[in-house]
Amino acid sequence: MLNRRKFIQSSLTSGAMAPLASALRGLEAQAGTPEAQVSWSELVGDSGGKLAPFPQRGHAIDISSLPWGNRVRRVGQTNMTEHDPAVMNVEEWAEFWHAAQADVVFVSVTGILAFYPSKVPFHKHGKFLKGRDFFGECVAAARKRGMRVVARMSPDLNWPDALAAHPEWAMRHRDGSVQRNEQEPQLFKTCMFSSYMDGYVPAIMREINSLYEVDCFYTNGWPPLGSLPDCHCSICSKLPASNTPAYWRVFTDRVVELWAKYDAIAKEKKLESFFFANSGGNVRGGPNLARLGKTARWFQADNQGRTWEEPEVWGCSLQGRVCNAVLDGKFATNVTAAYSTGSPGWRNLSKSAEEARMWLNETVASGMAPYFHFVGAEGGAGEDRRWQELGREYFRWTAQHEAHFTNRRSIANIGVVIGQSTQLLYPGPATARTRHYMRETTQGIYDALLWGRFAFDFVHEDRLEPERISRYRALVLPNVAMLSDRQCERLRDYVSGGGSLMGSFETSLYDENMQQRADFGLAEVFGISKAGDAIGTNGNPYYAWIEQDRATRAQEILAGFSDTHWLPGAENRVPLKPVADPLLTVVPGFVRYPPELAYPPVAHTSEPALVLREAGGGRAAWFSGDVERTYWLTGHGDLLRLIHNTLRWLTRDERVVIVEGAGFVELFCWETDPGYAVHLLNYTNPNTHHGWMRSVVKLGPQQVRMNLSEGVRVKAVDLLRADRSAAFEMKGGELRFTIPSMDDYEVAAITIA
Ligand SMILES: [Zn+2]
């Protein structure tokens, strides 16, 4: 029988992700036995590192002084269908969310189908409404129980009679034909630049304000997320072409304009009311997220579950990091679908409890408020009610520990620049035009950061002010192709001021208008210069040659690589002019088949593959290839190690929190009102990269260390999921404790005196 340790070790040698799955198949079979808690330090890597002291504590948050929208901690939604007025038990619905301690519920007004006897022209009544005031009954049932009500609208679609009267409301294809909903073609798509948004939507809002007591307004289905509209109506045909930087600015202007308009209408009834719209789309977003962060009172991340295109389990916490990058502590929530998301999907059927719970875990860990969502109330409150107990139990747990989820700031020493404009508008390099290009790049660096258990934040490229980025020891630029001159200048100043920078491939090769520069905007900072256009591959990436003076310099970066002159390179690269002392140089890719020809015609070049530079107290590391994406595509452990080693060199091996133990986890560390909180999400699971969680692979001890600095007195360390206290020791300013074991999630809540 295969010895487990050997099995895991041998799996390790060939990569990161696929081996995880195979190692887990072994582990899962024996989960629960002592042997299952075998040390995985090989798999995780030696996190090592020196502890950097925590930043000084911020000011206390007086929760009672915040507007009500910022005090919301739990959000409930049973998304109403046209049939619900015929079947839904309103009292049971309200009682469920009340028992779950939801602060606020969404009730559908809509705009596609009215849930009340609306008199607004073209606000069609649902066919089961029959004159009933279903919306009003739901509002009353919620308010009676002390829950706030969000009036939910959908301005994205309407019916043929509206189209006949207002052909100018429709989104048009290039040939002038009407754009229609894919599942119900009778519904046409409304254009956000048309009077539909200026007249029809405000008319509904004012009607609601005149008839009901609601707390705020929300639009579902608008603005679009993750991609930009492509409309050719008479208004839009005068705008810049879709998917261009110029269009993106006009699009964001319009979103912000309508947002302000709707917000003012909400406030016509009462000043504390407000408007918010659908958001999310993670790093791609929709509107410019730096601008949206200033506008939004409530960031509603419509990111309900894994999708076929984005099958990784961390999709929700990644969204949370995006919110943290732009909201300055304002309210954000992520919608967790209790129903079966994905494609194919089932709107009225529960998903697996392990998966739904993990999405809620990620919401809380990444600093957002949990939001649970089911669609339809067939049979009174759903024919499938399995999701309800889960939601109730989870919400109650968060209510019990609310203070520890009141975050002041994230504790992290690495910032990853998300490059929203690149994510949305850059089509990939000339050598690999694929709409998945940046997604794969982002997932590559994300996965690598998780494996290394680094504490990191996302940073928006329009928010590179020194006061924001000086808190990070290093910034990472994973192929952030589009950067303006001003943004490059900010990054240059950051390095002069002692900050460190990692960049790759086409980073800064384009300006904010997607105009290609003659050389990288950050050429000087990294000490590099472009020698030609991007070079792709026929499937055989370049190799990286370890230069012979390895013994004398940057030992950290080559740590763990012995007995080889070669390392994997990447699939695509922008060739660089020779530099004085590259650490790695390019061996161009060559033939794979036939094997007779699988050798390098050119065994050594002076073309740099990795350039290191130290200047002005800062360090800079440049990869000429798309190493993050190539790591993602291949799972090659050498690339993972190379990225880890480079990050350690850039940060001078400093960590703000060290968590050592077996398993693949995502880590968050927060300064909270009572003290601090370390959140660990356990992704050690066969379904981490695909499918749904259907099991929990229990993890063994996790040793946590952090330097809270001298003078801080710790009163208690409580493990909120395990529901017990942990023994801890304080030496100087250093706090140490052990989480003895964990299931899918643990929160170590540290209370200080
Ligand atoms: Zn249009």
Are 320 and 334 contacting, i.e. CB atoms less than 8 angstroms apart?
A: yes
What is the distance in A from the centroid of ligand 1 to the CA of 413?
Answer: 44
Cα separation, 686 vs 351, whole angstroms = 17
What is the distance in A from the centroid of ligand 1 to the CA of 253?
Answer: 15
What is the distance in A from the centroid of ligand 1 to the CA of 177?
Answer: 12
What is the distance in A from the centroid of ligand 1 to the CA of 261?
Answer: 19
What is the distance in A from the centroid of ligand 1 to the CA of 169?
Answer: 8
What is the distance in A from the centroid of ligand 1 to the CA of 436?
Answer: 27
What is the distance in A from the centroid of ligand 1 to the CA of 171?
Answer: 5
Report pLDDT for 252: 98
pLDDT band of 552, cuts 50, 70, 90: low
Report pLDDT for 45: 45
- Length of the chain (residues): 753
What is the distance in A from the centroid of ligand 1 to the CA of 179?
Answer: 10
What is the distance in A from the centroid of ligand 1 to the CA of 234?
Answer: 7
- Comparing C-alpha atoms, which of 197, 267, 220 is closest to residue 110? 220
Q: What is the DSSP string of 44-65?
A: H-----EEPBPPPP-PPP-GGG
What is the distance in A from the centroid of ligand 1 to the CA of 168?
Answer: 8
Report pLDDT for 617: 81
C-alpha to C-alpha distances, 47 to 291, 487, 648, 678, 703, nearest whole angstrom: 37, 32, 9, 16, 11
CA dihedral (115, 119, 124, 125) positive or negative: positive
What is the distance in A from the centroid of ligand 1 to the CA of 220?
Answer: 19
Report pLDDT for 539: 82
What is the distance in A from the centroid of ligand 1 to the CA of 176?
Answer: 11
What is the distance in A from the centroid of ligand 1 to the CA of 295?
Answer: 23
C-alpha to C-alpha distances, 226 to 81, 234, 566, 586, nearest whole angstrom: 25, 24, 39, 35
Each residue's pLDDT tens digit, 555-575: 789 999 999 999 999 999 999
What is the distance in A from the centroid of ligand 1 to the CA of 232?
Answer: 6
What is the distance in A from the centroid of ligand 1 to the CA of 326?
Answer: 29
Which residue reads 């590259």 in tokens? 582
Helix (H, G, I), strand (E, B), or coil: what is residue 381?
coil
Helix (H, G, I), strand (E, B), or coil: what is residue 447?
helix
What is the distance in A from the centroid of ligand 1 to the CA of 167?
Answer: 11
What is the distance in A from the centroid of ligand 1 to the CA of 249?
Answer: 15
- Which DSSP category does 114 fall into? B
* Pair type for strands 148-153 and 104-108: parallel
Each residue's pLDDT tens digit, 18-48: 444 444 444 443 343 433 333 444 444 455 7
Which residue reads 């946590």 in tokens? 704
Bridge partners of residue 409, in order along the sequence? 671
CA 219 to chain centre: 21
What is the distance in A from the centroid of ligand 1 to the CA of 110?
Answer: 21
Each residue's pLDDT tens digit, 380-416: 999 999 999 999 999 999 999 999 999 999 999 999 9
Omega of the bond leading into 701 within 30 degrees of 0 (cis):
no
What is the distance in A from the centroid of ligand 1 to the CA of 411?
Answer: 44
What is the distance in A from the centroid of ligand 1 to the CA of 190?
Answer: 8
What is the distance in A from the centroid of ligand 1 to the CA of 260?
Answer: 20
Backbone angles phi, psi at 114, to 5 degrees: -75, 135
Each residue's pLDDT tens digit, 633-666: 999 999 999 999 999 999 999 999 999 999 999 9
- Comparing C-alpha atoms, which of 25, 194, 220 is closest to residue 113? 220
Q: Which helix (H) or strand (E) holds 326?
A: helix 315-326
Helix (H, G, I), strand (E, B), or coil: what is residue 748?
strand
pLDDT band of 553, cuts 50, 70, 90: low
* Mean pLDDT score, 602-620: 93
Cα separation, 172 vs 190, whole angstroms = 9
What is the distance in A from the centroid of ligand 1 to the CA of 254?
Answer: 12
What is the distance in A from the centroid of ligand 1 to the CA of 282?
Answer: 25
Report pLDDT for 555: 78
Helix (H, G, I), strand (E, B), or coil: what is residue 632?
helix
Strands laid side by side in the 724-725 sheet: 407-410, 665-672, 675-682, 745-752, 714-719, 724-725
Radius of gyration over every alpha carbon of the chain, rounded to an integer in angstroms: 27
* Pair type for strands 665-672 and 188-189: unpaired
Which residue reads 């050389």 in tokens? 519
Alpha helices in 366-465, H assignment, sequence order: 386-400, 420-425, 437-451
What is the distance in A from the centroid of ligand 1 to the CA of 192?
Answer: 7
Are 311 and 343 contacting, i.e. CB atoms less than 8 angstroms apart?
A: no
Alpha helices in 177-218, H assignment, sequence order: 195, 201-211
C-alpha to C-alpha distances, 375 to 108, 336, 380, 495, 609, nearest whole angstrom: 12, 12, 12, 50, 51
Cα separation, 435 vs 734, whole angstroms = 46
Report pLDDT for 556: 87
What is the distance in A from the centroid of ligand 1 to the CA of 191?
Answer: 5
What is the distance in A from the centroid of ligand 1 to the CA of 156?
Answer: 12
What is the distance in A from the centroid of ligand 1 to the CA of 303?
Answer: 26
What is the distance in A from the centroid of ligand 1 to the CA of 197?
Answer: 11
What is the distance in A from the centroid of ligand 1 to the CA of 242?
Answer: 11
What dihedral angle (degrees, nearest 10) is formed by the CA atoms of 169, 175, 179, 185? Answer: 120
- Residue 603 neighbours by CB under 8 Å, 6+ apart: 587
Each residue's pLDDT tens digit, 338-383: 999 999 999 999 999 999 999 999 999 999 999 999 999 999 999 9
What is the distance in A from the centroid of ligand 1 to the CA of 236?
Answer: 4
What is the distance in A from the centroid of ligand 1 to the CA of 418?
Answer: 29
3-state secondary structure 550-561: HHCCCHHHHCCC
Which residue reads 């929160």 in tokens? 747
Cα separation, 406 vs 303, whole angstroms = 22
Terminal Cα-to-Cα distance of the chain (whole angstroms)? 53
What is the distance in A from the centroid of ligand 1 to the CA of 274?
Answer: 26
CA dihedral (359, 681, 50, 448) positive or negative: negative
Side-chain half-sphere exposure of 239, counting CA atoms within 13 A: 27
Cα separation, 333 vs 47, whole angstroms = 32
The fraction of the chain above a pLDDT of 90, given in percent, is 87
pLDDT band of 320, cuts 50, 70, 90: very high
Which residue reads 């958001």 in tokens? 279
∠ CA 60-295-474, nearest 5°, is: 60
* Mean pLDDT score, 684-698: 96
What is the distance in A from the centroid of ligand 1 to the CA of 499?
Answer: 45
What is the distance in A from the centroid of ligand 1 to the CA of 189?
Answer: 10
Q: What's the pTM?
A: 0.94
What is the distance in A from the centroid of ligand 1 to the CA of 247?
Answer: 12
What is the distance in A from the centroid of ligand 1 to the CA of 173?
Answer: 9
- Comparing C-alpha atoms, which of 99, 98, 110 is closest to residue 134? 110
Each residue's pLDDT tens digit, 172-195: 999 999 999 999 999 999 999 999
What is the distance in A from the centroid of ligand 1 to the CA of 150?
Answer: 28
Bridge partners of residue 678, in order along the sequence? 669, 748
Bridge partners of residue 601, in order along the sequence? none
Report pLDDT for 615: 79
What is the distance in A from the centroid of ligand 1 to the CA of 243?
Answer: 14
Cα separation, 154 vs 668, whole angstroms = 35
Which residue reads 């995502």 in tokens? 666
C-alpha to C-alpha distances, 616 to 477, 487, 493, 619, nearest whole angstrom: 19, 19, 10, 8
Helix (H, G, I), strand (E, B), or coil: what is residue 682?
strand
What's the mean pLDDT when you consider all of the chain? 92
* Amino acid identity, position 446: Y
pLDDT band of 550, cuts 50, 70, 90: low
pLDDT band of 538, cuts 50, 70, 90: confident
* Amino acid identity, position 592: R
What is the distance in A from the centroid of ligand 1 to the CA of 461?
Answer: 29
Cα separation, 472 vs 488, whole angstroms = 17
* Mean pLDDT score, 306-310: 89
C-alpha to C-alpha distances, 552 to 555, 620, 639, 732, nearest whole angstrom: 7, 18, 22, 35
pLDDT at 500 over 80: yes
Q: Which helix (H) or strand (E) holds 729?
A: strand 728-731
Omega of the bond leading into 85 within 30 degrees of 0 (cis):
no
Mean pLDDT is lowest, of 66-75, 571-580, 668-677, for 66-75
Report pLDDT for 8: 35
Kindly provide the residue ranges of all beta strands, DSSP E only, lying in 602-727, ordered along the sequence: 608-615, 618-623, 654-655, 657-661, 665-672, 675-682, 702-707, 714-719, 724-725
Cα separation, 475 vs 613, whole angstroms = 15
CA dihedral (217, 300, 352, 724) positive or negative: negative
Cα separation, 713 vs 699, whole angstroms = 29
Token pair, residue 604, equals 């050594």
Cα separation, 456 vs 437, whole angstroms = 22
What is the distance in A from the centroid of ligand 1 to the CA of 233?
Answer: 4
Report pLDDT for 217: 98
What is the distance in A from the centroid of ligand 1 to the CA of 679?
Answer: 45
